[in-house]
Amino acid sequence: MVLKNMEKRRAAVTGIGVVSPLGNSAADLYRGLVENRSGIRAMTEWHDEFGRDIAGAPVKLDPAVVKQISRKVRRTMGNTALFAGLAAQEAVTQSGLDPAVFTSGRVGCIIGSTVGSPSSMTEACVAEYEGRRNDLSACHFFRIMSHSASFNVADMFGINGPQLSTNSACASGLQALGAALELIQLGKVDAVLAGGADESTPMVSSSFQLLYALAEEESPEPERLSRPFDAARTGLVCGEGAGILVVEEMEHARKRGAQILFEIAGYATNCSGWHVSHSDELQIANCMRNALADAGITPGEVDYVSAHATGTRVGDAAEAAACRAVFGSEVPVSSLKGHLGHTLGASGSLELAAVYGMMRDGIVLPTRNLEQVEDCAGILLPREIREQKVRICVKNSIAFGGVNASLVCRSAD
């Protein structure tokens, strides 16, 4: 049933699944963040490509867990889709959704990523260059396709409702959740598996290196190289992973007795429209204001901003200025990239697992490695765990191409 009068239905999150540099469950991720651990290390296995050991934040998978996904689906999965599939399994298990609903036509799947599988793309390009085209199979093509994560996860669960892929670089995961919210509000679905996933490879880090956005120096303490908002920040560290959420129409969830983790109350996305790589503080601020207006919430009601800040000079300063313009200096703002690196298209949805933990436990997690603030001054930047109630949170994602996305989350209490 599509609503005729455009009244908005509410969207609840009933399941969260995570694959991350700090562990492959939502609980492992949150525990690592609370313990202030870092998932960043020297990527010694990439030494030949870079001539030194740059920093990265890789995922470590248990082969036995991977094999829980059927070979029929697994053979068309690169790491991006594999991360998404494992995270989706956790989210669906927590949600308690009856498997029968997936074939009802009322459940969708929206999973974003920067591209399909960079590692599979590299394998195919090298094989072509070396004249080994016959070594490739059709599976390589399916792994590389931009919607690989979304269609593979849909196949895992037999989902036959709407299936989409948001491919807006680092805003992909948050845009997927925004699209899920809008489908639910319009009455087109009752639930959506939504979020983002991405894998990190030498090619991915090299792309940021070419843009002078990578923290590429060799360091005896690689875990200190990702420094969002810090005066000494030199760029981002690439991570990888997935964050998949079960987003469900509120009454649908309540009727079946599901636990409501939190509500997605509002969403907005916009485009700066003037520069491919420079963040625009005015449009970031407008995006947050639009998301709050969509939720019917004022800036004064917000308890916490989960920032996108990746550790780049221009991007962090622009987001800090936008937060200052919208919220002043009283609302705490932090970034989790110091712990996780930048998990790219996964970052927005993956970090919401931590936001849920903060809402549940009444804390705000700090920005790891933040020591001195200069150009990002004028906002409240906690440097240690802050005990306070978090009822309303704004989550930001900002991507190359001038893409901004903001999601407003409300606790279930």
Torsion angles phi and psi, residue 42, rounded to 5:
-75, 130
Using the structure block, give the residue that is written with the tokens 């959420």.
245
Tokens 């927005």 found at: 348
| Residue 347: closest CA among 19, 12, 10, 63 | 19
| CA–CA gap between residue 178 and residue 128 (Å, rounded) | 38
Angle at 60 between CA 351 and CA 86, to 5 degrees: 60
Cα angle for residues 216, 222, 384 (degrees, 5° grid): 120
Q: Give the whole-angstrom CA distance, residue 345 versus residue 239.
A: 10
The amino acid present at 158, given as its one-letter code, is G
Separation of alpha carbons 343 and 83, rounded Å: 12
Of 404, 385, 406, the C-alpha closest to 394 is: 406
Q: Tell me how far apart the alpha carbons of residues 308 and 196 are, in angstroms, rounded to a whole number.
A: 14
DSSP secondary structure letters along 239-305: B-EEEEEEEEEHHHHHHTTPPP-EEEEEEEEEE--S-SSS--HHHHHHHHHHHHHHHT--GGG--EE
> How far, in Å, CA of 393 to CA of 327, rounded?
12
Pick from 95, 88, 92: nearest CA to 256: 95
Contacts of 269 (CB under 8 A, 6+ apart): 171, 175, 178, 287, 403, 404, 405, 406
- Quote the CA–CA distance of 46 and 212 in Å, as a whole number: 19
- Measure the CA–CA gap between 25 and 32, rounded to whole angstroms: 11
* CB contact set of 331 (below 8 Å; sequence gap of 6+): 299, 302, 303, 304, 305, 323, 379, 380
**Catalytic residue numbers?**
170, 308, 342
